[in-house]
Amino acid sequence: MKTIQNLFRAIVVATRNFPKPAIAGTLLLGIVASCSMGPSGPAAVDSERMSNANSQENVDDWMSYGRTYDEQRFSPLDQINDGNVGELGLAWFDDLETLRGVEGTPLVIDGVIYNTSAFNIISAYNGATGEKLWTYDPQVDKEWARLACCGPSARGIAAWNGKIYVAALDGRLIAVDAETGEEVWTTKTFETDWPYSITGAPRVFDGKVVIGNGGADYGVRGFVSAYDAETGEQLWKFYIVPGNPADAPDGEASDSAMEIATPTWTGEWWKGGGGGTAWDSLVYDPDLNLVYIGTGNGAPHVDTIRSPDGGDNLFLCSIVAVNADTGEYVWHYQMVPAESWDFTCTQPMMLADLEIEGKERQVIMQAPKNGFFYVLDRKTGELISAKTYVPNTWAEEIDMKTGRPIELPTARLTYEPELKSPTPLASHSWHPMAYSPNTGLVYFPAHEQWMVMAKIHEEDFEHVNWRNNSGLDWVSQPEKRKKLQEIADSREKGFLLAWDPVNQKEAFRIKHIAPGSGGVLATQGNLIFQGTPEKEFAAYRADNGKKLWSMPVQNAPIAGPVTYMIDGVQYIAVNTGWAGQPSSILAKMPGWHHLSTGRLMVFKLGGQEKLPPLPPQSELPRPPRLTADETVVREGAKLFAETCSTCHGKDARGGLKDLRWMTPETHADFMDIVLGGKRTEKGMASFADILTKEQAEAIHQYIIARANEDWAEEVAKGAAAQ
């Protein structure tokens, strides 16, 4: 039976771009009619194929976000290997026509690449030639570039039974026909009266599409929901944090779990949502029939505002296992009780079977924001081990008897500005990690970043929808902050980390110039691939980290690479397009922001394609003279941190668009842009609903102040204008 299915798929791929005579169609229909087959045609993904992703019939493909259900991002393909990777060259590329970050992992199924770009635009290509087969644009309103807390990112798509699934930024879950790119069905996953958004990739298994959401920084109540892959009908919903205990139960799959969670909260947390959003990682175990949910930070961040009389605040910063069929609670492990630093545990999770102390263990592994690498029993949630992989100021170690962190005396935020690490910038964020069963190592991008942190006085907190409601103090004691920030900048490091999860220790690290490197792919060819902040795509030996090949790509590939094979030729594909990792080092580097638009780039041995040259850099404009007093500038700094820093960088340095180096024309249009929506079509929508004219002008004056502080130094270094 499998042979006939594969023959059918081969015929479909081979004849995709040719007219199909009636006799050929009759023959194919005859094959289908004579056999009880699974799905066929484009994107013919089902449980059998996913459960046998490493079989001879399926090994050439990349059918889901992490390639396999365990999300190890390891490919058995080895035509490209440590002996010949130096011959790798560009086979083809496609300009994605965006300067936004491109974070998506492509899918490759039966010779076709399905890719996602900013604002959830999907395209299908012939994987060997790059010929574009179709494009689907869900028409996400560009206003969502600022309504979503972290920009219009899209980390991936899913495939099942001839359909591609898009979890749009605005909350729509959409099924698209894999052959034509036409919409099949759409359903709303949330209402827009709360500041939800979606940036993560949906997962599909056993005919169910599962997706979470983001928005905890702005203030929402996180949940995960599952839908019928054929119809879009909601099957179950699991809330991550409790609602108002005075209300009736939600009537959802999470009701029993909320009985556990509610006693761990105090005050009136539900007014600000509570947070806990599962904005990225979800993993499915078909043998245990469990879905693992990585949960996010609190809303607001500061625990003494959110839950004033204490409590662990379940299920913030946890892994929660639920029944895949019903969504009902099975177990949880909380990594950060009473989360207060914007630590999230939504980072990539992967499953593996490891021999630990002479016994094979079924484990789930994660390296979340808080700087510890965790190994848990994925059947029970029992903590097996946890060790820190970066310096930290919040926990000495994890107590193996209780599973709880042993917090340092200086861990909690005070009203006094102090240096903290890790920070909201994370020691490892959403960037995919990979595991090689050959080396036994997990590879992930990590970094050491420090931040000046303090909390506001609790009575001063005011919740504002669609704005960062952190509860953090961004402006007090500016002279002290400046000195501490200099120390923080001097400690900034970025690297690719190879980690031994059995012995919980570092095997090696590959240093980068700064934080901001991309997701990782591991292959049977003893290779790991990663995009770097040096604006290169690189390959290293998986066993020792030796650099074997790199290519300048005019941008920083931060997305997860994939590999596939068509007609006996192995390819490596990655999206380029940098965003999302503020770095003082990169902000100071002359010309670093001279970047190409985002691209899908595909490589093969002997590839000869060339990239077009970048347009010349412009000169750095002199900023206007500062006319505002210090009170206005400090208010602007606070508002910038709460409203603008996600896209435009901490302290107005770097970011998607470095606002310090606005042209005179942009300065003149500043109010029309910020309040009037003059650049809505470019994703810079109006903020008139949350900023007054006086507040917008304060932000403008703060940016002018920052530009004047840095301009002479940047000119001396020959920095480029944005």
- 283 burial level (CB within 10 Å; 0-12, 13-18, 19+): buried
Q: Which of 46, 110, 342, 651 is the catalytic position?
A: 342
Question: What distance lies between CA 32 and its chain's CA centroid?
Answer: 40
Report residue 187: phi and psi, to 5°: -145, 150
Q: How far apart are CA 346 and CA 39, in angstroms?
A: 32
Place of tokens 């009170």: 631
Please tell me whether residue 563 adopts helix, strand or coil conformation.
strand
Q: What Cα–Cα distance (Å) separates residue 314 from each residue in 276, 307, 649, 680?
A: 9, 11, 31, 38
Q: Which two tokens stand for residue 243?
A: 């609602």
Close Cβ partners of 33 (under 8 Å, ≥ 6 residues apart): none
Close Cβ partners of 76 (under 8 Å, ≥ 6 residues apart): 54, 59, 523, 524
Q: How far apart are CA 225 and CA 252, in angstroms?
A: 10
Q: Which two tokens stand for residue 16?
A: 């995709």
Contact 570, 587 (CB under 8 A): no
Amino acid in position 717: K
Q: How far apart are CA 722 and CA 618, in angstroms?
A: 8
Question: Which is it for strands 74-75 and 520-523: parallel, antiparallel or unpaired?
Answer: parallel
Q: How many helices (H) and strands (E) does the chain have?
A: 13, 39
Q: What Cα–Cα distance (Å) separates residue 273 from each residue in 259, 305, 360, 642?
A: 17, 13, 41, 18
Per-residue burial over 510-539, b = 16 or more CB atoms within 10 Å of its CB, e = otherwise: bebbbbbbbbbbbbbbbbbbbbbbbbbbbb
The question of whether 82 is a catalytic residue gets the answer no
Place of tokens 């770009």: 117
Work out the number of other CB atoms within 10 angstroms of the CB of residue 54.
Answer: 12
Task: Name which of 63, 73, 66, 92 is nearest 604 in CA terms.
Answer: 92
Q: Is 463 left (phi over 0), alpha (psi -120 to 50) or beta?
A: beta
Q: How far apart are CA 228 and CA 51, in angstroms?
A: 19
Q: How far apart are CA 304 and CA 290, in angstroms?
A: 34
- 421 burial level (CB within 10 Å; 0-12, 13-18, 19+): buried
Q: How far apart are CA 216 and CA 294, in angstroms?
A: 14
Per-residue burial over 312-322, b = 16 or more CB atoms within 10 Å of its CB, e = otherwise: bbbbbbbbbbb
Question: Which is it for strands 434-436 and 562-566: parallel, antiparallel or unpaired?
Answer: unpaired
Report residue 157: phi and psi, to 5°: -135, 175
Contact 372, 347 (CB under 8 A): no
Where would I find the beta strands (DSSP E) of 335-391? 349-356, 359-366, 372-377, 383-388
Question: What distance lies between CA 202 and its chain's CA centroid?
Answer: 12
Q: Which two tokens stand for residue 640?
A: 């910038």
Task: Name which of 166, 174, 171, 169 is nearest 151 in CA terms.
Answer: 169
Q: Which two tokens stand for residue 328?
A: 């009902």
- 440 burial level (CB within 10 Å; 0-12, 13-18, 19+): middle
Rg (CA), the chain: 25
Q: Which two tokens stand for residue 468?
A: 């960062």
**What is the CB-side half-sphere exposure of residue 146 using CA atoms within 13 A?**
27
Q: Which helix (H) or strand (E) holds 576?
A: strand 569-576
Residues annotated as catalytic (active site), given as ranges: 342
